[in-house]
Chains A and B, each alone.
Chain A
Amino acid sequence: MSETPPALTERERPREQWSGQLGFILAAVGSAVGLGNIWRFPGTAYDNGGGAFLIPYLVALLTAGIPILWLDYSVGHRFRGAAPAAFRRLTKRAESLGWFQVALSCAIAMYYTVIIAWAASYMVFAVNQQWGDDTAGFFIGDYLKVADPGIGFDVVPGVLIPLVIIWVAAIAILALGLKRGIERANLVFIPLLVVIFIAIVIRAVTLEGAADGLNALFTPQWDALTDPAVWIAAYAQIFFSLSIAFGIMITYSSYLKRRSNLTSTGLVVGLGNSSFEVLAGIGVFSAVGFMAMQQGIDVSETSYQGVALAFIAFPQILSLMPGGSVFGVLFFGALILAGMTSLLSILQVASAAFQEKLAWSPRKAAIIVGGGIAVLSIGLFSTTTALNVLDVADKFVNEIGVVSSAVISTLLVGLVLRRLRELQGHLNDRPGVHVGAWWRFDVGIVVPLVLAYILVSVGIGLVRDGYGGYPEGFLYSVGWGVIGLCVLITVVLTLMPWRHNPDEFTPQVLPELRQPVSKGADR
């Protein structure tokens, strides 16, 4: 009988790697392309100048989106770790910033999964259009059984079952590891998502009234360009849709091979994400135009954003259109695929961080960390209070938590530690687009200023005006509560000892710092 080889310890186990650039690009695009691309971008563009929104949107992509992507890539790739290890190797005091990003990822994963579960239910409902004529009543009353704002534990079985299934699937993929799990899943999911979405868009643009929707979306309102709120909306859209500044791109880039092209890859990922947003805008507003024409109303009177777009407006559209059942299955299938690829990346942030700190295997981390988040997610979000809790938690985690994390990380790397030159050198020491000195000014000054403005204005608005008409106590306990909890988790996880010393690591010596070497010794 053959002897079973002993299990490798963390120190003996080689760090996981993507099999190549394609695997990384698909995973990074899969992370960036999520539910927000489908239901946030079209409405944001329409509300902020229509066709004219293209100008601030592209400016934001080029001055914030891609530069922060490069920042995340350079930190993760140079210091070869998930967010806590990477930031610690930048400077020991910054480890807590990494754990704050891990805590935010855990919070997002908890509620993000339940939206995928709703999409799974609606994929089944679409077969016979079970929502009937009153789609809002069906979603809020019959399906979610929404109770008054608060935190309750009355379970909704119709949500519980798909939620458990989604969690089991996500943890199973995560447990297979980077190459066999996340990379393979994205290799299948992303092309499938693109094909399905193109089919949906082709059907949508051929519907009667589609032109009215597209007119509404693309007709430029030039006066919007003089409104600072429109520019802030563009920066926020780019920022929230690219999966930046909460550990995902740091973690993913840490698995790239040493000499990988980082800058051109960043351009492909950033523009790939925006390409999908434009496609979604065309599809969504064609469908909304069709619905408005069928109901004899103006496009501006329809629901075109967020949960209401996906689970209230779209079922109405599907009920009105020929072949609605087939396209309903495809639409909600697309939401599941877009959501799953993003969810896997969010979970990997936490899984990788625990693998490194506690020397766990990918499987152990997936089961313990993923399982822990799943239990909390199922407990909180399979209930009658889930919709309101989700709405408030999402608002605070994204607009306070993630934006704070971005402001702190850009200020820390740029102004406090002054390490942008080193990171620029790291980016330029590889094949790809050359990054000029403008990047340091942009990431060190412009980006933190714009994001700090967004953070302060959102914070003041939340304190002064509240949000969504929710009771103040509910906003404080759920909204500010989740931010406080993330800070508490950050402190605890930072104080937890490392199983192996993460500081036994020397970053690659950059060309300008290298000693002269014999010809051929250096690549």
Chain B
Amino acid sequence: MTPLAITFMILSMVIVWGGLVVSIFRLRRDGGYEDEAPHDL
């Protein structure tokens, strides 16, 4: 592979997969209230 193609492949992986990892950590940190209130229709 050419250095330019390698750079862009790594960039894609870091931005997209890295973004996913960060958003998962963010979700785990923020969490959510797990109420059990019955819902209407």
A214 to B30, CA, bound (A): 37
Is there an interface contact between A17 and B39, defined as CB atoms closer than 8 Å?
yes
Q: Which of A218, A265, A432, A502 contacts B8 (CB 8 A)?
A: A218
Q: Which of A50, A214, A218, A219 has the most CB of B within 10 A?
A: A218
Cβ 8 A contact of B26, one of A14, A215, A433: A433
Is A10 part of the binding interface, using a Cβ–Cβ cutoff of 8 Å? yes
Query: B15 → chain A, closest Cβ, in Å?
Result: 7
Are A218 and B9 in contact, CB atoms less than 8 angstroms apart?
A: yes
Question: Once the chains bind, are B41 and A10 in contact (CB under 8 Å)?
Answer: yes
B8 and A219 contact, CB distance less than 8 A: yes
- CB of A292 closer than 8 Å to a CB of B: no
Contact call B17/A264, Cβ cutoff below 8 A = no
Q: Are A264 and B27 in contact (CB under 8 A)?
A: yes
Say if the beta carbon of A92 comes within 8 Å of chain B. Answer: no
When the two chains form their complex, are residues B20 and A272 in contact, meaning their CB atoms are under 8 A apart? yes
Nearest CB of chain A from residue B13's CB, rounded to whole Å: 6
| Residues of chain B from 24 to 41 with CB closer than 8 A to chain A in the complex | 24, 26-27, 30-41
> For the complex, what is the distance from the CA of A14 to the CA of B41, rounded to whole Å?
8
Q: CA of A504 to CA of B17 in the docked complex: distance in angstroms?
A: 44
Residues of A contacting B13 with CB < 8 Å?
278
Q: How many residues of B contact A (CB 8 A)?
A: 32
Out of B7, B27, B32, B38, name the residue touching A259 (CB < 8 Å): B32
Main secondary structure of the interface of B (DSSP, over half): helix
Query: How many angstroms from the CA of A268 to the CA of B30 in the assembled complex?
Result: 13
Nearest-neighbour CB distance to chain A for B2, whole angstroms, equals 6
Q: Is A282 in the interface zone, CB < 8 Å from B? A: yes
The answer to whether B34 and A257 have CB atoms under 8 Å apart is: yes
Q: Which of A85, A211, A260 contacts B1 (CB 8 A)?
A: A211
State whether A58 touches B15 (Cβ < 8 A): yes
A33 at the interface (CB under 8 A from B): no
Of the listed residues A215, A259, A268, the one surrounded by the most CB atoms of chain B closer than 10 A to its CB is A268
A275 lies within 8 A of B34 (CB) = no
Nearest residue (CB) in B for A265 is B27
What chain B residues lie within 8 Å of A180 (beta carbons)? none
Query: Are B34 and A20 touching (Cβ within 8 A)?
Result: yes
Q: Is A219 a contact of B5 with CB atoms below 8 Å?
A: yes
Residues of B within 8 A of A523 (CB): 33
| Contact (Cβ within 8 A) B30 A261 | yes
Chain B residues whose C-beta falls within 8 Å of the C-beta of A274 in the assembled complex: 16, 19-20
Which residues in A have their C-beta under 8 angstroms from that of B16? 58, 271, 274-275, 277-278
Within the assembled complex, what's the spacing in Å between the Cα atoms of A50 and B26? Answer: 31
Question: Closest B-chain residue to A357, C-beta based?
Answer: B41
> B39 near A54 (CB under 8 angstroms)?
no
Question: Would A80 and B39 be within 8 Å (CB), given that A259-B33, A265-B27 are in contact?
Answer: yes
Closest CB in chain A relative to B35 CB, distance in Å: 5
A54 and B11 contact, CB distance less than 8 A: yes
Q: Is the beta-carbon distance between A261 and B32 smaller than 8 angstroms?
A: yes
Contacts of B36 in A (CB 8 A): 257
Closest CB-CB distance, B21 to chain A, in whole Å?
9
Could you tell me the distance in whole angstroms from the C-beta of A418 to the nearest C-beta in chain B?
Answer: 25
For B23, the closest partner residue in chain A by CB is A267
List of A residues within 8 angstroms of B26 by Cβ: 264, 267, 433
A356 within 8 A of B: yes
- Knowing A214-B5, A278-B17, A505-B41 touch, does A21 contact B12 (C-beta < 8 A)? no
Residues of B near A277 (CB, < 8 A) are 16
A14 touches B32 (CB 8 A): no
Q: Are A259 and B4 in contact (CB under 8 A)?
A: no
Q: Separation in Å of the A425 CB from the closest CB of chain B?
A: 17
In the complex, A272 Cα to B22 Cα: how many Å?
A: 11
- Also in contact, A264 and B34, with CB within 8 A (given A219-B2, A278-B17): no
Please state if A214 and B9 are interface contacts (CB–CB under 8 Å).
Answer: yes
B32 with A432: CB separation less than 8 A: yes
User: Is A30 located at the chain interface by the 8 A CB criterion?
Assistant: no
A412 to B6, CA, bound (A): 44
CA distance A309 to B13 in the complex (A): 23
Which chain A residues lie closer than 8 Å to B12 at the CB level? Answer: 51, 54, 218, 278, 281
Task: Tell me, rounded to whole Å, the shortest Cβ–Cβ distance linking B33 to chain A.
Answer: 3
| A62 → B minimal CB distance (Å) | 10
CB < 8 Å neighbour of B32 from A17, A21, A275, A500: A21
CB contact list, A90-138 vs B, under 8 A = none
Residues of A within 8 A of B19 (CB): 267, 271, 274
Some 24 contacts from A to B, beta carbons below 8 A apart, are A15-B38, A21-B27, A50-B8, A51-B8, A51-B9, A54-B8, A80-B39, A80-B41, A214-B1, A215-B5, A218-B4, A218-B8, A260-B33, A260-B34, A261-B32, A265-B32, A267-B23, A267-B26, A268-B27, A275-B16, A431-B32, A502-B41, A504-B40, A505-B40
Given contacts A217-B5, A260-B34, A261-B31, 20 further A-B contacts (CB under 8 A): A15-B40, A51-B9, A54-B11, A54-B15, A218-B1, A219-B8, A220-B8, A257-B36, A257-B37, A258-B33, A258-B35, A258-B37, A259-B33, A259-B34, A264-B27, A267-B27, A274-B20, A275-B16, A431-B33, A432-B32
Q: Which 10 A-B pairs have the closest CB atoms?
A: A51-B8, A259-B33, A261-B32, A267-B23, A264-B27, A271-B20, A15-B39, A218-B5, A218-B8, A431-B30
